Amino acid sequence: MDEDFKSAEHFTALGNIYFGHKDICTLRIWNFLTHCWDDNQLDNERQIFCGNIETVPTKEKAKFPQHFFPECKWSRKGFMRTRWEINGTAIDLVNIHLFHDASNLAACEDFPSVYCKTRRRALIHTIERFHLDDKNGSVPFFLFGDFNFRCDTAGVVKELTTNLTAHRLQSVKNESTKINYRNTDGNNILTVGKKEFSHADHQLKFKELWLKEFDKELAPLSEFLVEYPINFIPSYPFEEDPEMPTDYMSTRCPSWCDRILMSPQVKDIIDTDEWTYDMIGESVCMGDHKPIYLTVRLKPNKGSTKPTCLVKTLDSLKTLMNQTLVDESLWREQSNVDDAGIPPSPTSSRYVVVKAISSSINVPGEENCVDNLEAENGVLLKETTV
């Protein structure tokens, strides 16, 4: 458990719990300091490492380079890796946490979005690091965690807004912006803001099969990462209210953020016909992310990856990284844009005063908001048809 939050250089907040079933004949864990199996590490029945775990040799842990962070703030995103030999078969188990989408509006600008490119960049960096690790070698790996993979937001919005009219709603006081997509009757069908994504049929629409078509982030990495078919609903963002365990929050487009991926070499060490890939707690409050689980059956006494297989992989990774890299200044600028994707040249604008439903509710914006227009006990908004 990486719990030392005071260590800005190392803290990832990642934690892993491993249970070895009593039916396992032989079980060993890898020492990343001595670069060999630690035969004495598992003599005790239970071991717990928490707090500051920098000196624990049976894990490899790292944060992503600071220049990977789209908002120029070094957060705790990174990975933690352990290696196990189970009945003579070696595997790496890697817990990873990738970057989120800071703004729905910026994510709507294009696909892949600036956030998608940043996640891809971090994934390539991680896989490349494993393949270049001469001291520890390479074995088949399972890569799991909160990848923060998002659906093609631009494509989803286009799909949902056919025959709808876009209206930009902007607060004159604080310049916050959102877009309402309305039907011919003037009803809001979809609202997109920096941290708002709300559909008129929000709780059913995103559980339908059509959305899977827009789950595209993993496609460019299919040569390096494989996944079993997904037959569960998007794992994020669920309400954290225990009374609403199956409802999505209207903050982000529901997406399959939480995944369990594998290196292609895993197919050589598992029984491919025996697997289950599904969601835990679909009808129970589990937080904003629903956990995902994978069960597979490992074959015993399988060797490591042949080094000759890695040369082609490294070349392909380098090519993909070069395709993903963008101009750094543009990358930083895009990641902080709130109004990305909003067309210019509005056709018409009007000011709307939004008032509280009760005089006891304190609504900001009671002073003059623009020129001589006054929003008495309300907030003045500028609405533009785009």
pLDDT per residue as tens digits for the range 23-79: 899 999 999 999 999 877 666 678 899 999 999 999 999 998 877 665 556 678 999
Q: What is the pLDDT of residue 348?
A: 55
Q: Distances from the Cα of 254 to the Cαs of 151, 192, 197, 215, in angstroms?
A: 8, 13, 9, 10
Contact yes or no for 174/194 (Cβ under 8 A) = no
- Greatest mean pLDDT among 132-141, 341-350, 362-371 lies in 132-141
Average pLDDT of the segment spanning 108-112? 91
Domain parsing of the chain, residue ranges:
27-101+108-151+214-240+252-336+345-356+375-382
DSSP letter, residue 340: T
Structure token pair of residue 309: 């297989």
Nearest to 179 by CA among 162, 196, 163: 196
Contact yes or no for 73/332 (Cβ under 8 A) = no
Contact yes or no for 386/166 (Cβ under 8 A) = yes
240 or 306, which is more confident: 240
275 or 169, which is more confident: 275
In whole numbers, what is the pLDDT of the chain averaged over residues?
83
Task: Tell me the sheet residues that pair with 166.
Answer: 181
How far is the first Cα of the chain from the last one, in angstroms, to the nearest whole number?
Answer: 50
Q: Quote the pTM value.
A: 0.81
Structure token pair of residue 135: 């001291």
Q: How many alpha carbons fall within 13 Å on the CB side of residue 93? A: 17
DSSP letter, residue 317: H
* CATH architecture, range 27-101+108-151+214-240+252-336+345-356+375-382: 4-Layer Sandwich (3.60)
Cβ neighbors of 201 (< 8 A, separation 6 or more) are none
Q: How many alpha carbons fall within 13 Å on the CB side of residue 262? A: 18
> Packing angle between helix 114-131 and helix 328-335, nearest 10 degrees?
130
CA 383 – CA 347 distance, rounded (Å):
11
pLDDT tops 70 at residue 384: no
Residues 214-264 pLDDT 10s: 999 999 999 999 999 999 999 999 999 999 999 999 999 999 999 999 999
CA 196 – CA 207 distance, rounded (Å):
18
Collapsing DSSP to helix, strand or coil, 313 comes out as helix
Q: What is the pLDDT of residue 344?
A: 42
